[in-house]
Each structure stands twice: as C-alpha cells, then as structure tokens.
Amino acid sequence: MSGIDMTVELGGLRLKNPVMPASGTFAEELTHVLDISRFGAVVTKSVTPEARLGNPGPRVAETAAGMINAVGIQSKGADAFLAHTVPFYRRFDVPLIASISAETADQFAALAAKLSVDGVAALEVNISCPNLEDDGRSFAMDPGQTARVLEKIRRVTDLPLFAKLTPNTGDIVAVALAAEQAGADAVVIANTILAMAIDVETRRPKVGNGMGGLSGPAIKPIIVRMVYQAARRLRVPIIGCGGICSAEDAIEYMLAGATAVQVGTYTFLQPAGMLDILAGMEAYALRHGVTRIRDLVGAVEWPTRREQVSTNSSDRLGGGGGIMACGV
Amino acid sequence: MMQVQAIVLGNDWVNRRYKHMSVYAPQVAGLCQAGQFFHIRCSDDVTPLLRRPMSIYRYEPERGEVHFLYHVKGQGTQWLAARKPGDAVDLFGPLGRGFWIRPGWRRILVLARGVGLATLAPVARMAQEQGIGTIAVLSARTAEDVLSKDEMERFGARVMVVLDEDGTSEVAAVERLVREVVERERVDALFTCGSRRLTRLLQRVARDTGLPGQVALEENMGCGLGMCFCCVRPFWRGGERVNLRVCADGPVFDLSEVLEA
C-alpha cells in the first residue's frame, strides 16, 4: 500500500479510487481475468426496458488510434438484468452502477424506478442514445431534452444519478448545466464521437449501421477539453471518459476537472489495464508528493501573464526581442 | 485464459502470403483446444489499436509451444510478420469455445479453404487422440497455397486436395466429392471454417444426410472476451433468430445454426 488516499466522492457515493470501466466495455467475463473489487466502481453495459438485438454487422471498424463501433445497444432487458446481473455483482466488494437506456423520457423514468433496487449503487443515465420523441436525436444533444428526461427520472429514484453526455453537441457546457439543474448528481463526459469510415475497395461504410461512435486515444484531447470547459461551470462532479490508456491520461482528466475516470477501449487492448492505470496513478501521486488523489481535481495550472509573454517571445524569436509578444 | 508475453521461436514464410509463427508460452500451451483462438496485440503503439484474433494452428503442451498460421494482409499482420525469434508477443487466451467430439463417432470429415485450413489442422489431432479417423478435403488456389496438409497427415488424416488451377475446387465438384466420401466412408460429423461457400455447401450436405456439423467463424472483434458485442452475428437457435458473439459464444458453432454463412 502506498498510503495515498485514493478515495473520491461522486454524488454521495464514496469510491475507494477514481477508476471504473466505461459502459459497454465491461462485463462479467472480465472477472475471470482480474479482481474487479479493486475498481472504484463497476458500470454495466446499458440495459434497456426490453431485450434488443442491436445493429446488423459489421459492428466495429479500426481507425487511426481508435475504433468505430455501431453495436446499437444489444440488451437482454431489465428483467434479465435484475435476475442475473445485479445478483452476480453482489459477491464483489465494489459499487454497481447500472447504465440505463430508453427511447422516451417516460420509458427512462419507468426503467430507473424498476432498477432502483438493493445492489444498485447508482444509475448512469445514457442519454447519448436516440430519443424517439425528438426524431432520433440524442437527448444529450440538447439542454432542454436533457433536463426533461432527468427531471422525470429524478422524481422516481433516490439513487445517485450520473448523466452520460454526448460529445455530439454544439454546447457541452449548456447540456451539462441542464443535467445538473435537473437533478443529476454527476455527469459523465463523454460518450463516443459520431464518426464514419468507408472501405475504398468495396465503397461501403465499414460498419453495418453506416455511422458509429469513435472511441480510443484519438478522441482524448477533444473530451479533455470538454471536461475542462464543463468543470469551470458545474458544481457536481464530472467523470471523464474518452481514450484513457495510461495513468497519465487519467491524471490529465483529473487535472482538467474530472473527479473520476472511466476506461473503455483500452480494456480491449489490455484486459487488466485498469489495474495498471490505478497503480500508475498512485506512483504519480508519490512522485509528485500528492497525498490525496482528489487534490488533483481541476488542478491544471496556467502560466502567469509574465511567463506567457516571456515564453511566447523566446519561442518565436529565439529569446531575442519582445516585438512578437506584443501581438504582431 | 490469461495474458502472457510469449517468446517467438520461429516466424517463417510458408508461401507467398502466409507465415507460420511458433511461440514459447508454457503458461497457456496446455490450455489450448482445437478451434479456440488467441487475441494477439499487433502493435507497439496505438495504431493499429485492436488486438487480432488468431486461431490456434498447433499446440504442443509438452514443449510449451503454440503455433499460428496467418495471412499477412494488413498493418497488424505485417507488424506480426516482422517479429523475429527472441522477440516477445503479447497473447491473450486461449479464448472461445472450440470444436467438440461426441462419444461413438468413428470418422469425421473436414473441409476447408484459405485461413480455415489453419483453424482445422488441430481438429485432426483432437480426433486422433480420441481414436477417431479424419478425412480432410483441402481447397486452395494453387498447389503452393495448400496449407496444413503435412500437419493433418501427422495426426493420421487422409487428405484430398482440390485446386482452382485444375478446376477441382469448383463448388459442384467439391460437393459431389464430399457426398461420395460421406456415403462411402460412413462419416459421423462434418467440420469446416474459413469459406462462406464451403459452409453453405456443407450445410446442404448435413441437411440431406442428417449428419451433425460444426463451423468455426471469423469476425472482426473488439475485446475477444464477450464484453463489447462487436463480433455478433445472427444465428438460428431455440426456434428463433438470435445475435450471438463469435468470440465468446463461438467461434465454433453448430453448422445448422449459422444463418449468414
């Protein structure tokens, strides 16, 4: 044990550390590979009210430093989730966060009520999926829709609510604020970025659905920016999610303003990678004299104006004069 | 299954397109079954990002060896092709459900083409270990492209080769051959992998003869472990159409369940 205090708090839920899997990249199978009790929490694949088949294949295409998936939420439905998934995770000493997905706001509320049972520590509301009441757009593309669905869910459950936002919006801060005002206890920033890849030999899209969601290290700088922008305005904590492949990536998200992080695609490359990330975060804290990991949240430092002027001038003029620094 | 750093023993071309890689991985060599696969990291960096599923060509538990026969096609397999003896390769596995043998079978027929030839090679070993004979029909473009012949013969398989270059691999001809063999040799089960048209061919034979069959499928994968649902395909099971994961519910499936072969 390093003696570093790794605990963080998310909307009343205390986690032993800030690392958890991203929804859809984790399942019971991983318990055969590593001790999931060491995670801060586990997050299930999104469950829908009824069983769903998901999209036709192919469902995955590799891209530069990333992958596009078009799984389309294949789900066994809420009854199977309550009968099998919740009891399965009871044997592990780790909070279970149930990711929920539905096609209308009322369906979301009914599902949230149904899953507010003993053994579920929090609900992650996947509002990045299509909203049938809004012509198939994601709830989280729009602040009004985000508020509408979260208000309905808030009324039917006392569990902590984590709103999983989409990066496919023009104003992530407005959507995050809407989620907060509607009762979300934390926001997850973010889901995958809408993307497309075409096979130039066959001239067909590389995933069966035509478009899909881009994840992996390719998207990390975009999501870090969104976390930073939202963190300046929100009171509730942020869970950063997008392209984390190392302890340094996780620390970067925390410096930008995330209280916790979710690791997704990286688990496909390194099944036990989350534990390496945890160990690396402790090593980072030791190296930097950080005794409480939560002290890193939002601790990005900006150079002073004087430093900026001096850096700019030396960069551009090789340390010569100040003309360029004046904005020429 | 487990993640191991295997040491490359050999990595040699067997023809213009395929390489044969043997690795020392004693932790997993004893766990392998015919039809299972390893998810192999084919990069030192984040491009290519995903692991590559690769079926087991040979396993030698007593020597701690696992062998792969792979088509050098894209960025990942080109990286793999550049590994030299002594280099480490990151393996995760063995994964998935392999082929199975039913008690009472005396003879099986395997039919394969392309990379499926590698996947089916250890079936002959599994059959021999259980006192069952194997008849193998191997299909290829040219004589040079025939893979696994020696490997199958090593485990007592009787091998027949059909080729594009002499016209013997044409579907109708292969179907006639398979039906003749099935009838003459009293085959108990059919096995295939790696070709849609051969899978459909064998489905027809199985349906007409009432023989059971198995097929190993290939699909692009995300996790290889059953978590991401990226490698799902439609199957006919229990009277309904269901989406199953090739990595965790297969890669070997009952031939009669496969819908989009």
> What tokens were used for A122?
């929090």
Rounded CA separation A107/A195 (Å): 27
Per-residue pLDDT band for A312 (boundaries 50, 70, 90) equals low
Q: Do B229 and A59 touch (CB under 8 A)?
A: yes
Condensed to tens digits (0 to 9), the pLDDT of residues B215-246 reads 999 999 999 999 999 999 999 999 999 999 99
Q: Which member of A129, A241, A245, A326 is catalytic?
A: A129
| Residues of chain B contacting residue A29, judged by C-beta atoms under 8 Å apart | 225-227, 248
Is residue B49 scored above 50 in pLDDT? Answer: yes
Contacts with A267 from chain B: Cβ below 8 Å: 223, 227
* Residue A324 contacts B, CB cutoff 8 Å: no
Q: Is A64 on the interface with B (CB under 8 A)?
A: yes
Partner B contacted by A268 (CB < 8 A): yes
The interface predicted TM-score (ipTM) is: 0.92
Which residue from B1, B46, B232 is facing A57, i.e. has the nearest CB?
Answer: B232
Set of chain B residues whose Cβ sits within 8 Å of the Cβ of A216: 46, 49
DSSP string, A21-77: EPTTS--GGGGGTS-GGGSS-EEPPPB-SS-B----S--EEEETTEEEE-----B--
Residue in chain B lying closest to A75 (CA): B229
Judged against a pLDDT cut of 60, whether residue A321 lies above it is answered with no
3-state DSSP helix/strand/coil percent for chain A, to nearest 5?
40, 20, 40
What is the distance in angstroms between the Cα of B20 and the nearest Cα belonging to chain A? 23
CB contact under 8 A, B49 and A61: no
pLDDT at residue A304 in the model: 84
Residue in chain A nearest B74 by alpha carbon = A62
CA distance B23 to chain A (A): 20
Q: Is A309 on the interface with B (CB under 8 A)?
A: no
Q: Which residue from A53, A217, A268 is facing B243, i.e. has the nearest CB? A: A53
Q: What is the largest CA-CA distance in chain B?
A: 54
The partner residue sitting opposite B46, judged by closest CB among A24, A45, A245, is A245
Q: Phi, psi at residue A77, to the nearest 5°?
A: 95, 165
- Say how far residue A325 (Cα) sits from the centre of its chain: 39
Q: How far is CA B71 from CA A33, B117, B118, B229, in A?
A: 29, 11, 10, 25
CA distances from B118 to A79, B35, B67, B84, B213 (A): 42, 10, 10, 21, 18
Rounded to 5 degrees, φ, ψ at B37 are -140, 165
Residue type, A144: G
Predicted confidence (pLDDT) at residue B24 exceeds the cutoff of 80: yes
Work out the percent of chain A whose per-residue pLDDT is above 70. Answer: 92
Assign 3-class secondary structure to chain B. CEEEEEEEEEEEECCCCEEEEEEECHHHHCCCCCCCEEEECCCCCCCCCCCEEEECCEEEHHHCEEEEEEECCCHHHHHHHCCCCCCEEEEEEEECECCCCCCCCCEEEEEEECCHHHHHHHHHHHHHHCCCEEEEEEEECCHHHCCCHHHHHHCCCEEEEEECCCCCCCHHHHHHHHHHHHHHHCCCEEEEECCHHHHHHHHHHHHHHCCCEEEECCCCCCCCCCCCCCCEEEEEECCEEEEEECCCCCEEEEHHHECCC
- Is pLDDT at A314 greater than 70 in this prediction? no
Q: What is the pLDDT of residue A135?
A: 74
Residue type, A70: A
Per residue in A88-108, pLDDT (tens digit) is 999 999 999 999 999 999 999
| From A27, A53, A67, residue closest to B50, measured CB to CB | A67
Cross-chain CB nearest to B243 (options A24, A74, A270): A74
Q: Which residues from chain A sit within 8 angstroms of residue B38, using beta carbons?
A: none
Query: Which residues of chain B lie closer than 8 angstroms to A69, CB-CB?
Result: 222, 228, 230
Paired with B192 in beta bridges are B111, B215
- What pLDDT, on the 0 to 100 scale, is given for residue A320? 39
Pairing mode, if any, of strands B213-216 and B232-237?
A: unpaired
Tens of pLDDT, residue by residue over A5-38, are: 999 999 999 999 999 999 999 999 999 999 999 9
Supply the pLDDT for residue A310: 66
- For A258-291, how does the pLDDT look when each residue is reduced to its tens digit (9 = 90+)? 999 999 999 999 999 999 999 999 999 999 999 9
Give the CA distances from residue A231 to residues A33, A253, A318, B6, in Å, rounded to whole numbers and listed in that order.
35, 11, 36, 44
Q: Which pLDDT band holds residue A305 (cuts at 50, 70, 90)?
A: confident
**Can you give the pLDDT at residue A88?**
97
User: Does residue A293 have a pLDDT over 50?
Assistant: yes
Nearest to B51 among A66, A269, A272 (CB): A269
Q: Do A216 and B243 touch (CB under 8 A)?
A: no
Average pLDDT of every residue of chain A: 92
The per-residue pLDDT for A316 is 46
| Residue A1 confidence class, pLDDT cut points 50, 70, 90 | low
Q: Out of A27-31, A127-131, B57-61, B172-176, pick the least confident.
A: A127-131
Nearest in space to B193 (alpha carbons), one of B159, B219, B162, B222: B219
Considering chain B, what is the average pLDDT of its residues?
A: 95
Determine the residue among A43, A269, A275 to mutate to test chain B binding: the one whose Cβ has the most chain B Cβ atoms within 10 Å: A269
Q: Running DSSP on this structure, what letter comes out for residue A172?
A: H
Compare all CA atoms of chain A with the CA of B95 and give the residue at the minimum distance.
A29
User: Which among A25, A45, A54 has CB closest to B243?
Assistant: A54
From chain B, the residues in CB contact with A53 under 8 A are 242-243
Q: Is the pLDDT at A317 greater than 50, yes or no? A: no
Q: Which of B5, B168, B249 is nearest to A29 (CA)?
A: B249
Among A271, A257, A264, CA closest to A243: A264
- Going B203 to B205 to B207 to B211, the CA torsion angle's sign is negative
Mean pLDDT for the stretch of residues B41-66: 96
Average pLDDT of span A43-61:
94
Give B2 to chain A, closest Cα distance, Å.
7
Q: Do A33 and B230 touch (CB under 8 A)?
A: no
On chain B, the residues whose CB falls within 8 A of the CB of A245 are 46
Restricting to A residues 197-216, those with a Cβ less than 8 Å away from any Cβ of B are 216
pLDDT tens column, A174-216:
999 999 999 999 999 999 999 999 999 999 999 999 999 999 9
- Write the pLDDT tens digit of every residue in A133-161: 777 789 999 999 999 999 999 999 999 99
A58 contact B CB<8A: yes
Report pLDDT for A327.
Answer: 41
Q: Does position B114 have pLDDT exceeding 60, yes or no?
A: yes
Whether A51 contacts chain B with CB within 8 A: no
Give me the mean pLDDT over the A249-261 stretch. Answer: 98
pLDDT of residue A328: 35
In whole angstroms, what is the distance from residue A286 CA to residue A301 CA?
Answer: 19
Peptide bond before residue B94 is cis, with ω within 30 degrees of 0 = yes
Question: Phi, psi (5° rounding) for residue A314?
Answer: -70, -35
In this model, does residue A318 exceed pLDDT 80? no
Does the active-site annotation cover A326?
no
Cβ contacts of A65 on chain B, cutoff 8 Å: 46-47, 49
Q: Do A62 and B49 touch (CB under 8 A)?
A: yes
